[in-house]
Amino acid sequence: MYEMKDEYLTGIEFIDNEHRRLFEIAEETYQLKNAEFIPDKYDQINDLLNELKEYTIMHFSHEEEYMQSIGYKKLFTQKTQHQAFINWLEEHELEGIDEEYEDQDAVIDNILKYLTDWLVNHILYTDKQIPASESNS
Ligand SMILES: [Fe+2]
Ligand SMILES: [Fe+2]
C-alpha cells in the first residue's frame, strides 16, 4: 500500500533513506491493522503511529539542518510547511487511537492516508527542489 518510489527520490541519500523509513513504518501500521488475531494489536498500532510521528519530526530537523548548512534559500518555506504538519500531528494525538472507537480501523486508515498523502506531496513539490550540495539554486 505504502512504499517509496523512484519518483520520490531527491538524490540526497540521507533524505531518501529517511523518507523510505517513513513509508516502511506507514506500511507496517497498515499491515498490522489488516492482520487478524493479533493480541494487543491496537497497542502495537499506537506504538507505530507514535513512531511515525517521532520519526517525522526528527526527519524534519535533519532536513532543516542540512538546508541550513548549504545556505538553501527556501529553508523558510520548508520550515513553515514542516511546522504546520507537526501541528497537525500533535493535534491528532496519534497515540490515542482508542479501542472504544466505533470504527478504529477507519480512523487508522484516515490518519495513514492523510500522513502519506502529505508526505508524497511535500516530497514531490518541495523536498525534490533541495539541491544535493551548494549550488546556485
Ligand atoms: Fe522530507
Ligand atoms: Fe521537507
Residues with a beta carbon under 5 angstroms from ion ligand 1: 127
Residue 10's CB is within 10 A of a number of other CB atoms, namely 19
Confidence at residue 100, expressed as pLDDT on a 0 to 100 scale = 62
Q: ∠115-116-119 over CA atoms, to 5°?
A: 90
CA of residue 46 to ligand 2 center, whole Å: 24
Confidence at residue 136, expressed as pLDDT on a 0 to 100 scale = 46
What residue spans define the domains of the chain? 6-132
Confidence at residue 122, expressed as pLDDT on a 0 to 100 scale = 98
Confidence at residue 137, expressed as pLDDT on a 0 to 100 scale = 47
CA of residue 2 to ligand 2 center, whole Å: 18
What is the chain's pLDDT, residue by residue, as a tens digit (137 residues)? 999 999 999 999 999 999 999 999 999 999 999 998 888 888 899 899 999 999 999 999 999 999 999 999 999 999 999 999 999 888 876 555 666 666 788 888 888 999 999 999 999 999 999 999 755 44
CA of residue 57 to ligand 2 center, whole Å: 10
Question: What's the CATH fold of domain 6-132?
Answer: Four Helix Bundle (Hemerythrin (Met), subunit A) (1.20.120)
Question: How far is residue 96 from each of residues 12, 86, 111, measured CA to CA in Å?
Answer: 34, 16, 12
**71: phi > 0 → left, psi -120 to 50 → alpha, else beta; which?**
left
* Cβ atoms 84, 56 nearer than 8 A: no
